[in-house]
């Protein structure tokens, strides 16, 4: 048994969906397969906009924005499907109606609830179209509403999966009579059958949940890049492919901000020793990257650059040592404000924290910490992280920059510069 996950870029046009069909037609084995698919292209962003406009009370504009999304999907279906167009149209229409009804209501609950009810439609639409297309070209598959399977709590927009109930649902899937199931990533439902989402880019995580509960040998994530690279090729044209990585390395990369795989994806795989293949849907013959439980030696320097960073300096007001009570208070503030420090350095009576520069968060933090510390904020900084660094590459990448903070371990160097 295998799990395949296709992201938004792999279904963002008629040609890309045909390409996906080609990949499935050319599978060399006939193993049972679970296929997880995201919303097409930038649909999730467009639906976020619908949710915002709806919540602001502007029904007409919300409906107008939704109409655009609707027409895009209908156009794709029209160009893609012949025999299966009518049944597909019926399925899509049901989803359209559901959202349009909701958009005619006045919001009475919290924003995150409406966000999930609206945004989840992106994956439902894309999977309906792809499923119909695959059936039309002879790749027989059964479409599932993943909300009947991935059960969650009601922490909308960042729902937590109920593994026990999800496991029961997964185990009831009949792979004997269905060789291929096709379903959505990113979304789930509560016990009251309200839709939920698992956090942006959450489809990788959904795929890992299925791999874990189905005890598969592997999970393949199909992307528009050759595999996992040692740097973002848009910033570093000579970035190279890394053919093999350990789970640990990938977790570290994600932690430092590399946009490789959704960080939550790794644990369900690591726990069951399931290999993760990152492959290129544009050329399935490329080797890609294999991630598994195995130490990989001689990795190239792995580079992550995060711009729009802020540095907050906190000074003890009365010379009390930062490491004690004030630190405990500070961590409480972090957790209340859901702040993640990208870099933290303590000295005798001061502390430096590097954060993503989000204005409201920084203001909230400054306010909350102002009773304990004197505070200074510096902005427009860039955080460079290099795993497996050497001095030469550090020098090369920081040449001519003013470094405001530098932290080194034998494995990793981080430089915050202006």
Binding stretches for ligand ASP (CB under 6 A): 7-8, 38-39, 44, 122, 185-186, 200-203
User: Least separation, in Å, of the C-beta of 201 and ligand ASP?
Assistant: 4
20: which 2 tokens?
Answer: 């996906």
Contact 243, 289 (CB under 8 A): yes
Minimum CB distance to ligand ASP smaller for 268 or for 326: 268
Phi, psi angle pair for 22, to nearest 5° = -65, -45
Judged by CB, which is closer to ligand ASP: 21, or 185? Answer: 185
Report the site for Mg ion in 36-75 (rule: CB under 5 A): 38
Which of Mg ion, ligand ASP, none does residue 44 bind (CB under 5 to 8 Å by kind)? ligand ASP
Which residue in 7, 21, 122, 268 binds Mg ion (CB under 5 A)?
7
Q: Shortest gap between Cβ of 272 and ligand ASP (angstroms)?
A: 21
Q: How far is the CB of 403 from ligand ASP (least distance, A)?
A: 34
Contacted by 126, from Mg ion, ligand ASP, none: CB < 5 to 8 Å by type: none
CB of 38 to ligand ASP, least distance (A): 3
* DSSP-derived secondary structure letter, 310: E
Tokens matching residue 47: 């639906």
- Residue 114: alpha-carbon gap to chain centroid: 20
Among 376, 372, 349, 350, smallest CA distance to 362 is for 376
Partner interacting with residue 6 (select from Mg ion, ligand ASP, none; CB below 5-8 Å by kind): none
Q: Which is nearer to Mg ion, 16 or 84 (CB)?
A: 16
- Residue with nearest beta carbon to ligand ASP: 203
Dihedrals φ, ψ of 114, to 5°?
-65, -40
Residue 202 interacting entry, from Mg ion, ligand ASP, none, C-beta within 5 to 8 Å by type: ligand ASP
Query: Is there binding between residue 8 and Mg ion (CB under 5 A)?
Result: yes
The sign of the torsion formed by the CA atoms of 321, 324, 325, 326 equals positive
> Do 115 and 156 contact (CB within 8 A), yes or no?
yes
**Residue whose CB is less far from Mg ion, 223 or 306:** 223
Among 2-10, 76-84, 86-94, 390-398, the segment contacting Mg ion (CB under 5 A)? 2-10
CA atoms within 13 A on the CB side of 31: 15
Residue 405, sorted as left (phi over 0), alpha (psi -120 to 50) or beta, turns out to be: beta
Q: Residue 128: exposed, middle, or buried by beta-carbon count in 10 A (0-12, 13-18, 19+)?
A: buried
Closest CA to 147 of 120, 127, 167: 120
Residue 270 contacts which entry, ligand ASP, Mg ion, none (Cβ below 5-8 A, type-dependent)? none
């Amino acid at each position: 048994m295998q799990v395949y996950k296709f992201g938004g870029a792999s279904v963002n046009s008629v040609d890309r969906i045909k390409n996906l069909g080609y990949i499935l037609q050319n599978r060399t084995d006939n193993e049972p397969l679970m296929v997880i698919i995201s919303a097409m292209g930038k649909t999730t962003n467009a639906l976020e906009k619908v949710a915002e406009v709806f919540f602001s009370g502007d029904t007409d504009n919300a409906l107008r924005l939704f109409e655009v999304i609707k027409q895009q999907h209908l156009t794709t279906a029209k160009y893609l499907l012949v025999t299966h167009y009518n049944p597909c149209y019926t399925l899509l229409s049901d989803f359209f109606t559901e959202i349009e009804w909701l958009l005619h209501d006045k919001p009475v609950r919290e924003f995150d609830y409406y966000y999930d009810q609206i945004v989840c439609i992106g994956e439902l639409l894309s999977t309906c179209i792809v499923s119909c297309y695959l059936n039309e070209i002879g790749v027989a598959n059964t479409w599932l509403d993943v909300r009947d399977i991935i059960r969650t709590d009601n922490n909308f927009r960042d729902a937590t999966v109920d593994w026990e109930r999800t496991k029961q649902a997964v185990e009831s899937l009949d792979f004997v009579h269905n060789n291929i199931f096709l379903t959505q990533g990113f979304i789930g439902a509560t016990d009251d059958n309200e839709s939920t989402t698992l956090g942006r880019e959450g489809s990788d995580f959904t795929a890992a949940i299925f791999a874990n509960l189905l005890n598969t040998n592997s999970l393949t994530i199909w992307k528009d890049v050759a595999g996992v690279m040692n740097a973002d090729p848009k910033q570093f044209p000579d970035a190279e492919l890394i053919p093999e990585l350990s789970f640990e390395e990938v977790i570290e990369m994600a932690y430092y901000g590399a946009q490789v795989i959704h960080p939550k994806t790794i644990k369900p795989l690591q726990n069951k020793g399931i290999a993760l293949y990152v492959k290129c849907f544009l050329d399935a013959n490329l080797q890609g990257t294999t991630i598994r439980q195995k130490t990989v030696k001689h990795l190239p320097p792995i580079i992550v650059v995060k711009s729009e960073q802020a540095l907050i300096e906190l000074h003890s007001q009365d010379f009390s040592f930062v490491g004690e009570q004030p630190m405990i208070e500070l961590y409480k503030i972090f957790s209340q404000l859901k702040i993640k420090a990208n870099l933290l350095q303590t000295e005798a009576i001061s502390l430096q924290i590097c954060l993503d520069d989000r204005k409201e968060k920084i203001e909230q933090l400054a306010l909350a910490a102002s009773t304990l510390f004197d505070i200074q904020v510096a902005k427009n900084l860039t955080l460079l992280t290099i795993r497996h660094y050497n001095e030469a590459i550090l020098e090369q990448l920081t040449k001519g920059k003013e470094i405001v903070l530098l932290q080194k371990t034998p494995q990793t160097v981080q430089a915050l510069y202006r």
